[in-house]
Amino acid sequence: MSPRAASGETARRLKADFPALEALRARDRGMFDSLVGVVQECAAFNRRHALPAALEIDRRVREDHDYFAWDIAEAGCGHGLFSLIIPERLGGRGGLAVAFSLAMEELCSACAGIANIFGAHALGLVPLLTSGSMAHWDTHLRETALAEKRGEPLIWAYAITEPSAGTDVEEPHFLTRARLSMRAERVKGGYLLNGRKCFISNGAVARWLTLTTCTDTARPLETWTLFLIDREMPGFSVARNEVKMGQRACPASELLFEDVFVPEDNVLGREGEGMDLGALLVLAASRAPVGAIATGIARGTLERLREWAGERRGGRRPLDEQSVQMALADMHIELQKSRWAYLNAALAFDRSLGRVLDSSLTGGVLRLPASLRAGRNWQRLMKSPLGRGIVNAVMRANTTGEEVTRALALASLAKVVGGDTAVQVTARCLEMLGTEPCPQRPWLEKAFRDAKLTQIYEGTNQLNRLTYYLAGLEGGLEVALPEPLLMGVR
């Protein structure tokens, strides 16, 4: 298919699968066209890079779990996949949850492991955006976008899970009872970090990490804090890479911190704001894309099953059997439910916290000359309690804790629906294939392995059910936006 025909095909598919986006087009054609552009770019990346390499990378990592396909990451630079959520004025594509989710569905329809390199990278950047840490935007977001333009992946990761605390670090009620092994001790000019983080996607290859930990293990919730970590900091090391069942192209690593000194400037938000700023706001942004990852895996699998069912065997096509037609219809119904769920959640996020990023004040700041923002006075202001207070006030003027809590609930719902659908669809498609050798089999087997992880990361589906109950139905979990206190705080 020519690139032009492929672009037309992508636009047609988006219109068919997302009638709600078609409605948006009538109001904002520019927005619709930019979403189509992002998905077309991902489709082109799949055709040129992911599809030809996916099975081979999966095989290589099974044999050597320290292998990382840097060439695929470099190819992602050419398609803007490391800057999908970086604001345009900082050199990125300017997408938020909707654009990023559509991109993830597209990428994962080819290979969720490769896609997750870009997904986990974006997850690492999200806390910089949602915490409104503007002092770091020019240095880190711009730098990441510039590196991408040079074809050099500058990869990020997000680290909250600890060896004995996974579910517990994602929910405030559980954090108070968590068995934490990592902590940050306050010292002159900053903090000393000691302990381990585990299962960190991209952990082995990331240059920068956003990380949460407490400064007092006796009061973890009150002292939970979001930090910015440079892998070059002395005392940081990668202890090992996990042996993964699926999504192998993206390494999950255990990270070791031995007296890692982190300067005060690298606290994002304020000490003690880590659960809301560093976890709940981030998960409100990231769980819809996980629903999209799962949707993409299910979609790719169904596309391959349909291809298989359309081929003649012994003079007959499986596709001509009513039972096969009904099975395909059933699975497409589930797929469409996953799509609606993630799109709904992503729209809720973009309407809440996204509005802060799109606000005229944020836009005004980004229109200032970069040299001014990089200057000492601006940096000092943005890192001061006054600067932090202004950012928090802008956040509160543009959204409410209630809106963000709603977005979190819908995001958890999207993750549950998507993850469960991906696991069920990939299992059923594999069953339908039977034992017959065919070109689709290795792809379906890989998709089945890839799908399982969507029920686990960003909080297991059990936890996400609880989050949906508490944040969406019961009112027992509310996201608090940071206080716009001006002076004399911590």
Ligand X SMILES: Cc1cc2nc3c(=O)[nH]c(=O)nc-3n(C[C@H](O)[C@H](O)[C@H](O)COP(=O)(O)OP(=O)(O)OC[C@H]3O[C@@H](n4cnc5c(N)ncnc54)[C@H](O)[C@@H]3O)c2cc1C
Residues that bind ligand X (CB under 6 A): 120, 157-161, 166-167, 170, 199-201, 244, 252, 453, 456-457, 459-460, 462-463
The least CB distance from residue 388 to ligand X, in Å, is: 25
Q: How many other CB atoms are there within 10 angstroms of residue 442's CB atom?
A: 14
Identity of the residue, 167 or 424, whose beta carbon is nearer to ligand X in the bound complex: 167
Identity of the residue, 83 or 454, whose beta carbon is nearer to ligand X in the bound complex: 454
Identity of the residue, 36 or 205, whose beta carbon is nearer to ligand X in the bound complex: 205
The least CB distance from residue 453 to ligand X, in Å, is: 5
Identity of the residue, 140 or 388, whose beta carbon is nearer to ligand X in the bound complex: 140
Enclosing H/E stretch for 97: helix 97-108
Find out whether 253 and 203 touch, Cβ atoms under 8 Å. Answer: yes
Q: Which runs of consecutive H residues, i.e. helices, occur in 267-321? A: 274-275, 281-309
Find out whether 338 and 290 touch, Cβ atoms under 8 Å. Answer: no
The least CB distance from residue 191 to ligand X, in Å, is: 19
The least CB distance from residue 410 to ligand X, in Å, is: 19
Identity of the residue, 116 or 440, whose beta carbon is nearer to ligand X in the bound complex: 116
Find out whether 363 and 398 touch, Cβ atoms under 8 Å. Answer: no
Identity of the residue, 238 or 438, whose beta carbon is nearer to ligand X in the bound complex: 238
Judged by DSSP in three states, 163 sits in coil
Identity of the residue, 87 or 119, whose beta carbon is nearer to ligand X in the bound complex: 119
CB under 8 A, 24+ apart: contacts of 180-183: 180/213, 180/214, 180/217, 180/220, 182/213, 182/257, 183/213, 183/214, 183/215, 183/216, 183/217
Pairing of strands 190-201, 236-241: unpaired
Identity of the residue, 201 or 215, whose beta carbon is nearer to ligand X in the bound complex: 201
Pairing of strands 252-263, 267-268: unpaired
- Alpha-carbon distances of 213 from 55, 187, 268, 387, 436, rounded to whole Å: 37, 15, 12, 23, 50
Identity of the residue, 82 or 378, whose beta carbon is nearer to ligand X in the bound complex: 82
Distance CA 219, CA 386 (A): 26
The least CB distance from residue 161 to ligand X, in Å, is: 3
Phi then psi dihedrals of residue 235, to 5 deg: 100, -10
The least CB distance from residue 249 to ligand X, in Å, is: 12
The least CB distance from residue 182 to ligand X, in Å, is: 11
Identity of the residue, 120 or 353, whose beta carbon is nearer to ligand X in the bound complex: 120
Judged by DSSP in three states, 239 sits in strand
The least CB distance from residue 366 to ligand X, in Å, is: 28
Identity of the residue, 358 or 420, whose beta carbon is nearer to ligand X in the bound complex: 420
Strand partners for 210: 158, 228
* In the complex, residue closest to ligand X by CB: 166
The least CB distance from residue 457 to ligand X, in Å, is: 4
**Which residue in 140, 134, 136, 97 sits closest to 119, CA to CA?**
97
Read off the tokens for 468.
Answer: 């949906």
The least CB distance from residue 57 to ligand X, in Å, is: 16
Enclosing H/E stretch for 383: helix 376-383
The least CB distance from residue 17 to ligand X, in Å, is: 28
Enclosing H/E stretch for 224: strand 224-230
Find out whether 270 and 482 touch, Cβ atoms under 8 Å. Answer: yes
Enclosing H/E stretch for 129: helix 112-130
The least CB distance from residue 121 to ligand X, in Å, is: 10
Identity of the residue, 138 or 162, whose beta carbon is nearer to ligand X in the bound complex: 162
DSSP state of 480: P
R_g of the chain, CA atoms, integer Å: 22
DSSP state of 479: P
Pairing of strands 224-230, 208-214: antiparallel
